[in-house]
Amino acid sequence: MSAPPPPDFSGLDPELATEAAGVGGRGTLLGSSASSGLLPGWAPYGVFAAALAFCAAVLAALGIFTIALMLVFGAVVAVFGIYAWSRAVEGSRRAKDRAITMAIVAAFGVAMAPLISLLYEVIKRGVPGLSAEFFTEDARGKISGGGAEHAIVGTLVITGIAVAISVPIGLMAAIYMNEYGTGKLRRALTFFVDVMTGIPSIVAGLFAYALFEIFFGPGIRMGVMGSVALSVLMIPIVIRASEEVLKIVPNHLREASYALGTPKWKTISKIVLPTAFAGLVTAVMIATARIIGETAPLLVTTGVVDSLNTDPFGGRMQNLAVYAFNEYRSPGIDKAASYDRAWAAALTLIAIVMILNVIARLVYRRYKTEIR
């Protein structure tokens, strides 16, 4: 593709040509920029920096300086600043373009700010709590000190079982809804899945507790109860996400398979699912990341405990979220050390989620198929 030749307005009558050449035009392209000028390349950054400095000064003068306020007000001031400057030099069309660009970039920045601030805070406060002891010891009988091994193992066991329960059910439900379901039943299912996505997590925990209480009596606490509670939260997410992935498998691939005389179940298992594989892995990872940090449902189902327990059917089981909560709520004699451990647990949890995400990315890249 070669660039289109520059439009030639010389043949048009002067009035039309001015309009066609745009803002402040003289009838030729060069004329328009020569007359109205351009902002320098650093203009947006300069304006933003100046806006931040201005807001910082104003806020400091008022005695209410914080970084967050400076960023938010700075973004607003920068949008108006670039508009005014550009309008004076470049004309109104470019000014609007610059203002909108600035607003969009600033909105992105505002959206990212809490995330970065959160990561920064968790790393800053979490790192001091990390030690070899943190990963290799539990907290049985420790008045102060002790580690979170039991919580890390518990998190992995509880989440692992939840994934093992949710993925087959969720995936098969998604296959039903996308490949088999029709009409009213399908619509009803979609509705209930949507409702399930929105149930408060504590309700899922109470449901699992009530279910197990029927069989084991009041006060029962087991790792697997937590897994059941998490599954209630995870299944609808798996269904929704995998349904979207299955939807984008083009129908012509299914037809090609049918035309070879392939039964429907084989078409689904050998053509549709492999084609969607990378997307399905991502769907499962998103759902896992969503439930791995749940606290409330686990408080009522797996309970709080200080010692390592690897048997999901053998009584109370600790996990990282509840561990962090508990270290904060009832610190040991050395309060600062307890708080450090709480932050370290939060950091570990984020690290696990990140590792899962990286794995999902790698799988996605390795197996993604070009879908036309």
**Site residues (vs other proteins, CB under 8 A):** 182, 250, 252-253, 255-263, 266-267, 270-271, 274-275, 277, 369-372
Cβ 182 to other proteins, closest distance in Å?
6
Judge whether 238 and 165 are in contact, CB under 8 Å. no
Cβ 260 to other proteins, closest distance in Å?
4
- 128 vs 118, 338, 368, CA distance in Å? 16, 11, 40
Nearer Cβ to other proteins (11/261): 261
Cβ 253 to other proteins, closest distance in Å?
6
Judge whether 312 and 227 are in contact, CB under 8 Å. yes
Candidates 204, 278, 205, 265; CA nearest to 236 is: 204
Tokens encoding 153: 């193992």
Nearer Cβ to other proteins (2/182): 182
Judge whether 72 and 64 are in contact, CB under 8 Å. no
Cβ 183 to other proteins, closest distance in Å?
9
> How far apart (Å, rounded) are the C-alpha atoms in residues 301 and 230?
10
Secondary structure (DSSP) of 74-87: HHHHHHHHHHHHHH
Q: Calculate the dihedral angle through the C-alpha atoms of 144, 146, 152, 153, rounding to the nearest 10 degrees.
A: -130
Nearer Cβ to other proteins (76/256): 256
Nearer Cβ to other proteins (87/368): 368
Cβ 280 to other proteins, closest distance in Å?
13
- 116 vs 67, 111, 186, 219, 326, CA distance in Å? 13, 10, 41, 41, 26
Give the other-Cβ count within 10 Å of 84's Cβ: 13
Nearer Cβ to other proteins (61/252): 252
Tokens encoding 313: 């059917």
Cβ 168 to other proteins, closest distance in Å?
21
> How far apart (Å, rounded) are the C-alpha atoms in residues 37 and 23?
11
Nearer Cβ to other proteins (237/278): 278
Nearer Cβ to other proteins (160/263): 263
Cβ 34 to other proteins, closest distance in Å?
47
